[in-house]
Structure 1
Amino acid sequence: MMVAASAQNLWAVETKVLRDDTFADFNQGESTGTEILAEGKLRIGPLPRRLARTDDAIAWKAVLDRYDKNIFVATGHEGKVWRVEPDGKTELWADLEEVEATALAVDFTGAVLVGTSPGGKIYRVAKAGKPELFFDTKEQHVWDLIFDRDGVLYAATGTSGKIFRIRGPNNGEVYYDAEATNVMGLAFDGEGKLLAATQGKGLVLRIQRAHVATVLYAAQEDECRALTVDQEGNIYVAINSARTSALFDKLREERPSQVVQAPGAVATPTPSTRQADSLREALASMTSTLAGLGGQSSVVRIEPSGFASTFWNAPEAPIHALIADPSGRGVFVAAGSKGKLYRLEGDTNYSLVADVEEQSILSFTLHNGEIYFSCANRAAVYALSEKTTTSALFASRPLNAGCIVAWGNFFVEGDHTTTPGVQIELRTGNTADPSDKTWSEWKEAKQVGANLWNAGNPVAQYLQYRLRLQGTKDIPAPVVDALQFLYVQRNAAPIIKSVKVEKIGGEAPAPSSQQQPSSGTSRPPDGAVQPRPDSGAAPRSAGALEALVASAMGREGAQPQSQPAALGAASNSAKFTISWDASDPNGDKLVYRIGIKSDEEQLWKFLEKDYTSNRYTLDASLVPDGWYQILIEASDRPQNSEDTAASASLISRRFAIDNTPPELTNLSARKVGTNRWEITATARDAISIVASASFCVDTEDTWYALLPVDNIFDAEQETFRFTVTPREERCEHVVRIRVTDREGNARVGRIILSDNQSVKNK
């Protein structure tokens, strides 16, 4: 039961700080024209420019027609190829029977070669709307297409891992069998040798000539996804632990069967209705699956000398594509599922240069210093100029103070971070989603010092900031190193979820070994239920019924122990562990008061007043018998002033402290036959139920269990009636009776049997 939780409507003493100053911090935001550096800086960067967007789900590949600067885009899941003119005008160039157009290349005439999946066909499209079958690989997928200097086409395929060399229409052969599941990417090195990246074995191959290759790199991961070569001959390869080609595993099962045609006709696989429906169902979820592949990804650099090393570990996975920076500054990499484009110059020298609306960037193409890339969800094509813009926008992730707080001033650190080069807007809310309509509108913050800005003292749990960076010939381009926001929490009372009181000793001790009757001892007593040897151990819970059943069936539960003390009482004092689950919403340190009170008392008696642990041991031998409760009171006063400190308390459930053995009364014996007596006794305990009873005759070592007359231990008073027949017939016998309460306190009494009298002793 919660007793109290008190706190005045005041703010806490300690001012706290939330900082954004690392790449990981800024990478959770959204940027337009803002470059995020690895060391955790923001600056104006290149601005991605969307050229076109279609209703297709995914743009697998984009290539540039170098003659008239049109861009061709291969899309899914309708197998379409689009032509995008420099002004953004789009034209449907080909509508193929296959569901995915996955690879593109442009020949020297300007015709487009299109690789498809599933089915593994390659089409040539010289004019809009007129695709012609160029070559059938008989494979499942065509992953990449590339022309060499002589105009010979090479095709990377799956799922048999073959590379085809195609010299003309229907004129091709296997150039190299990689013996992998898929060949994912192709490129040429500085000497004109074909390079291949495989999935299934994770290899980078240099193919010297037909059917002869050298392994340049063997990855521990499953997939080498894409390749690029820079101006110095360094090879960069994308490594993924998750297989992007796994998206097509279901499609493999649904490939149409080859149909039989008349002699001379061209056989064309035609999907059945079921196959077509299944294909579209698989493809409908493909794009979302692409965004959730996850895993670990990296870029490996292979130098011309053959030395290979990890160039970059991606902050998100998978890596879909990469291309050498035309300026010679490294390589551009598309990674993750949030439209992020990175520029790498080394493992610790990299930056995020673009953050587009679409989920994934899947391919690159290059022309005259400009990089073009295609995206998924939805299909789109962008251009990224090396030239930086004059302005940029960055919106942070929502900063979470953990509870409702009062936001104060904030600091902006960096170079040239004053107005008008930097403009800052803020908005606040009490939900994690800033698009929630309950959030405030954007409000411009005012600069009140060299690096100090005023937030306007909003009261909310979440805060989001938006930076506008500007740089011209008259305004130096700003570089933001860090932002730190000061806030103070409303002091909330501590929370105590539970208080537990657990006994850690005091139960009747468990026996160490079975004691067998020695020769010459008495026979087992008579009775409705045959008693068994017993230690006198008390059940720890309401298990008397189990003991009754075990006894009735002749099973031995608790093992007999060594003979107890001959006569008298034995208290079994226990210790109790008191533990509690307490926390402070503000994260303040807590101190505790621990109180105890019996049912008969009105006021709490405090055992500790400035206790810092959440566990306490109570020695029950120092406490009188009775029913008790524990009070735990938590206070946050170590980190708050006397006026603002808050407290809460919780009371435990009632528990018994019982250090006194049961009373054994009304011992009497009645002779009922030759060498045979009926014995009656009553056991009573003031606090606990009587939990077990046993007896022995004369000098026996074995104690026999007794059951009360009602056959169950379930009350504070129990009556026993049993008969004994000593093994030896003599004029006097001694019967000892042991009774134990649930807390393990035991008393032993005796009765002396003779032919003429019975003597009662406690």
Structure 2
Amino acid sequence: MAGMLLLLACWTAFASTTFFWREDTYEAFSQGKREGVSLSRDGELSLAPKLELVADLGELYVWSMASDAEGNLYAGTGNEGKVFRISSDGKVELIFDSPEVGIQSLAVDGRGTVYAGSSPDGVVYRIPPDRPPSVFCRTGKQYVWALAFGEGGKLYAATGPGGALLRVEEGKAEEVFRAPEDNLVCLLPDGDGGFYAGGAGKGLVYHVDARGRTRVLYDAPEREVHALTLGNGGVLYVGAMSGEGEEAQTRCAVYRVEGGLARPIWRFKSPLLLTLNFLQSGELPLLVGTGKEGELHLLSSDGKRHLHLARMEGGYPLCALEVERGVYVGTGDLGKVYRLERAYVDTGRFTSRVYDSGAPSRWGRVMWNARSPKGTEVLLRTRSGNTEEPDETWNDWSKPLRKPGPITSPPARFLQYQIVLRSDGKKTPIVRKVVLSGVQANLPPEVRALSIGPYRAERGPGEGQPPQPKPRGVPAKRGVFLVRWEVEDPNGDRMSFRLLIRPVGEKEWKVLEDELTAPSYVWDTETTADGEYELKVEASDLPSNPPDVALTGERISRPFFVDHAAPHIEAEVHADGHKVRLEGRVWDETTPLKGLSYAVDSGKWRVVLPEDGVWDSREERFSIELSLEPGGHWVVLRALDLMENAGVRRVRVEVRPPRGP
């Protein structure tokens, strides 16, 4: 903390451009952490309903639930295969300890007899209210996934493997139909003596009418149809999931099936959708439980409104049931039963994601848009630090604000806010938008690279001509340079640039060009004397800051030559019959030589190497051996320096004819 305070003490200037951090959407708020807070699809934060623990059954899983006419709740569990009764006054009683691993399904008839479907032996047990439990039917399957009563009070079972729908009687199981997939995992009476069933493996939804005729109602893109529920007007809702696996996009979805047509009304990036219930009260009647994160959602019947209701601590929803006294949720991992209350929690907290301002910053104000009915309250506080993840080096939470105002957290790079919602339980405050502002500490621009090279102009097509392939570039004019630089400003400020020049060895810089706005400059060196120079570029963030705040960064180039003069050539001719030798030297007063070539009588240019084999000095010697026909000849020598300056020398050579015998 002391090091951080020392850093803050050194900051003397802040940039003038204010930045704003705004959160007012579901996507933005969903990146934060919620405790007792719900989030709607419209991006509204509110208090979550109370989720009261009704019973801790001491099991790992509550696989199934059912209720009787007296208001008693029954829970089937695993991994010990037990059935519990939870009375209306909260009393928990073990009524059956089976030899099975799990009680996957429960159903209660009008006389209060409980039927329990089990795994892995696929037995249906009967638990009368006044007699000991007994085996009702051995199905011959491993799993009895779902139980439901049909027309005439007959009991039906969805089973697997084999995907069979069975009519179950005492000591007898009759197959009604067999699905083309491994398991039938959910079963729902259609209200007309038939059933809807969902399969796992192909993700099919089946309808079996009262006569036993079966048809596929919908083929979901997901692998498993795990939950079915009926809404108002007989509308069918289908909960489907992809299941856990290695797919790039695991998902679950809710479909609305009406008039023989199915359409998705909600999708979620979770591999599991385990519960789906149509509630008889509330504006958002569809209750959905997803994922091992233990999330509960509420949807409108058309899916256009969505409320991320709560995240269950220490478990995930496996089953849910609405009875007269409320909505109950059974969980996995910690085998508990909760009741979803109509009242709100007293206090909820939303902690935002960490905001990175990109540089040390001074904070401005925080504003929020909220509705706070009487008996409710919204508080907001902030904290700041210089590490990406909050740790012990961060500043403490500020004093909470009850209305928008200045952010009092010390300057730092990172900022986080927390909203505290409070209520008397009858109503909830709603937060729709949070906006925080700040200004970065002004940091100097950084000139990362500076290069100087010959300027090559691009030829464009002539007027009226079609576009031509882009040429490689041709020199626009000898002695014209293209100066380029790369610059980055940590604050993202607009830049202006200044170019300066000095001869190598001197201290004083002279301004070459000022008030440049582009990171390049075409420099014509015609008025610059030959010699070795350095360039310096200065980058300033003055266009975005007041003069007393603006900062500069600079970079000096490597030494380079300005050379307008051509190389000099000296040559002597030595002739011996038709054999001719040209000897001489080439020199340049400023830059090293690049090469020498010659042409005889306007013929092709031919390359010459210096005596030491490498053109790399300002003076080199050369020798050329020629074999020429008798008569006069012109030999043209052309020397180039590194700046492409060309020096030319023409030499007259006379070759005498050989003497007669």
TM tier relative to shorter chain: 0.7 to 0.9
> Where in structure 2 are the equivalents of 1:123-522 lying within 5 Å?
123-124=123-124, 134-135=138-139, 137=141, 144-149=145-150, 150-155=153-158, 157=160, 162-165=163-166, 167=168, 176=177, 178-179=179-180, 185-198=186-199, 202-208=203-209, 213-219=214-220, 226-238=227-239, 243-246=242-245, 294-295=249-250, 297-303=252-258, 305-314=259-268, 319-327=273-281, 329=283, 330-335=285-290, 338-345=293-300, 346-358=302-314, 361-368=317-324, 370-375=326-331, 378-389=333-344, 391-400=346-355, 402=357, 403-416=359-372, 421-424=376-379, 426-430=381-385, 436-442=391-397, 444-447=399-402, 451-453=403-405, 455-460=407-412, 461-471=414-424, 477-485=428-436, 487-496=437-446, 498-501=448-451, 503=453, 505=455
The answer to whether the 8 Å contact 2:31/2:353 transfers is: no
Against the structure 1 CA distance between its residues 627 and 191, is the aligned structure 2 distance closer, same or farther, given a 3 Å change threshold? farther
> Where in structure 2 are the equivalents of 1:519-598 lying within 5 Å?
572-585=478-491, 587-598=492-503
Residue 41 (1) aligns with residue 44 (2): yes
Unaligned stretches of 5+ in structure 1? 1-6, 248-291, 510-539, 541-569, 758-762
Per the TM alignment, residue 115 of structure 1 is displaced from its structure 2 partner at its CA by 4.1
* Distance in 1 (alpha carbons) for counterparts of 2:280 and 2:133: 34
* Distance in 2 (alpha carbons) for counterparts of 1:186 and 1:742: 87
Deviations 1:103-156 (A, max 9, x none): 44446543532345xxxx535567999999944547xxx694343424544336
Residue 61 (1) aligns with residue 63 (2): yes
Task: From 114, 126, 139, give the equivalent of 2:118.
Answer: 114
Partner of 2:655: 755
Residue 694 (1) aligns with residue 597 (2): yes
Against the structure 1 CA distance between its residues 430 and 328, is the aligned structure 2 distance closer, same or farther, given a 3 Å change threshold? closer
Per the TM alignment, residue 580 of structure 1 is displaced from its structure 2 partner at its CA by 1.3
Residue 677 (1) aligns with residue 587 (2): no
Partner of 1:648: 552
Deviations 1:572-618 (A, max 9, x none): 44542513131233x44443334444424433444554444444444
The amino acid across from 2:485 in the alignment is S
Partner of 1:737: 637
Deviations 1:504-560 (A, max 9, x none): 6459x9xxxxxxxxxxxxxxxxxxxxxxxxxxxxxx9xxxxxxxxxxxxxxxxxxxx
| Other structure's SS at 2:114 match | coil
Against the structure 1 CA distance between its residues 738 and 59, is the aligned structure 2 distance closer, same or farther, given a 3 Å change threshold? farther
* Distance in 1 (alpha carbons) for counterparts of 2:91 and 2:622: 100
Higher RCO (C-alpha under 8 Å, 6+ residues apart) = 1
Per the TM alignment, residue 297 of structure 1 is displaced from its structure 2 partner at its CA by 4.7
Aligned length: 617
Against the structure 1 CA distance between its residues 175 and 423, is the aligned structure 2 distance closer, same or farther, given a 3 Å change threshold? same
* Distance in 2 (alpha carbons) for counterparts of 1:94 and 1:682: 111
Partner of 2:462: none
Q: TM-score, normalised by structure 1?
A: 0.67
The amino acid across from 2:146 in the alignment is L
Deviations 1:701-746 (A, max 9, x none): x3333334344444454444342334xx222223333444445444
The answer to whether the 8 Å contact 2:38/2:46 transfers is: yes
Against the structure 1 CA distance between its residues 680 and 455, is the aligned structure 2 distance closer, same or farther, given a 3 Å change threshold? same
The answer to whether the 8 Å contact 1:202/1:224 transfers is: yes
Partner of 1:544: none
Residue 21 (1) aligns with residue 24 (2): yes
Partner of 1:553: none
Partner of 2:463: none
The answer to whether the 8 Å contact 2:75/2:85 transfers is: yes
Against the structure 1 CA distance between its residues 380 and 668, is the aligned structure 2 distance closer, same or farther, given a 3 Å change threshold? farther
Per the TM alignment, residue 173 of structure 1 is displaced from its structure 2 partner at its CA by 7.2
The answer to whether the 8 Å contact 2:204/2:216 transfers is: yes
The answer to whether the 8 Å contact 1:578/1:618 transfers is: no
Against the structure 1 CA distance between its residues 40 and 328, is the aligned structure 2 distance closer, same or farther, given a 3 Å change threshold? closer
| Other structure's SS at 1:25 match | helix
The amino acid across from 1:651 in the alignment is R
The answer to whether the 8 Å contact 1:28/1:397 transfers is: yes
| Other structure's SS at 1:357 match | coil
Against the structure 1 CA distance between its residues 584 and 438, is the aligned structure 2 distance closer, same or farther, given a 3 Å change threshold? closer
Against the structure 1 CA distance between its residues 301 and 430, is the aligned structure 2 distance closer, same or farther, given a 3 Å change threshold? same
Against the structure 1 CA distance between its residues 430 and 457, is the aligned structure 2 distance closer, same or farther, given a 3 Å change threshold? closer
Against the structure 1 CA distance between its residues 690 and 488, is the aligned structure 2 distance closer, same or farther, given a 3 Å change threshold? same
The amino acid across from 2:243 in the alignment is T
Per the TM alignment, residue 31 of structure 1 is displaced from its structure 2 partner at its CA by 3.5
The answer to whether the 8 Å contact 1:404/1:459 transfers is: yes
The amino acid across from 1:29 in the alignment is G
Per the TM alignment, residue 393 of structure 1 is displaced from its structure 2 partner at its CA by 0.7
Per the TM alignment, residue 301 of structure 1 is displaced from its structure 2 partner at its CA by 1.3
Per the TM alignment, residue 379 of structure 1 is displaced from its structure 2 partner at its CA by 3.6
Partner of 1:257: none
* Distance in 2 (alpha carbons) for counterparts of 1:222 and 1:496: 55
Deviates more, 1:145-154 or 1:82-91: 82-91
The amino acid across from 2:65 in the alignment is V
Partner of 1:635: 540
Per the TM alignment, residue 395 of structure 1 is displaced from its structure 2 partner at its CA by 2.0
The amino acid across from 2:27 in the alignment is A
The answer to whether the 8 Å contact 2:362/2:441 transfers is: no
* Distance in 2 (alpha carbons) for counterparts of 1:96 and 1:688: 98
Q: TM-score, normalised by structure 2?
A: 0.76
The answer to whether the 8 Å contact 1:21/1:482 transfers is: yes
The answer to whether the 8 Å contact 1:135/1:169 transfers is: no
Deviations 1:674-717 (A, max 9, x none): 422333344445565444443332232x3333334344444454
Partner of 2:469: none
Per the TM alignment, residue 184 of structure 1 is displaced from its structure 2 partner at its CA by 6.0
Residue 668 (1) aligns with residue 583 (2): no
Per the TM alignment, residue 651 of structure 1 is displaced from its structure 2 partner at its CA by 0.6
Against the structure 1 CA distance between its residues 17 and 206, is the aligned structure 2 distance closer, same or farther, given a 3 Å change threshold? same
* Distance in 1 (alpha carbons) for counterparts of 2:524 and 2:339: 75
Against the structure 1 CA distance between its residues 730 and 464, is the aligned structure 2 distance closer, same or farther, given a 3 Å change threshold? same
| Other structure's SS at 1:232 match | helix
The answer to whether the 8 Å contact 1:96/1:131 transfers is: no
Per the TM alignment, residue 294 of structure 1 is displaced from its structure 2 partner at its CA by 4.8
Per the TM alignment, residue 22 of structure 1 is displaced from its structure 2 partner at its CA by 2.6
The amino acid across from 2:551 in the alignment is S
Against the structure 1 CA distance between its residues 668 and 180, is the aligned structure 2 distance closer, same or farther, given a 3 Å change threshold? farther
Partner of 1:73: 77
Against the structure 1 CA distance between its residues 171 and 592, is the aligned structure 2 distance closer, same or farther, given a 3 Å change threshold? farther
The amino acid across from 2:637 in the alignment is I
| Other structure's SS at 2:443 match | coil
| Alignment RMSD | 4.6
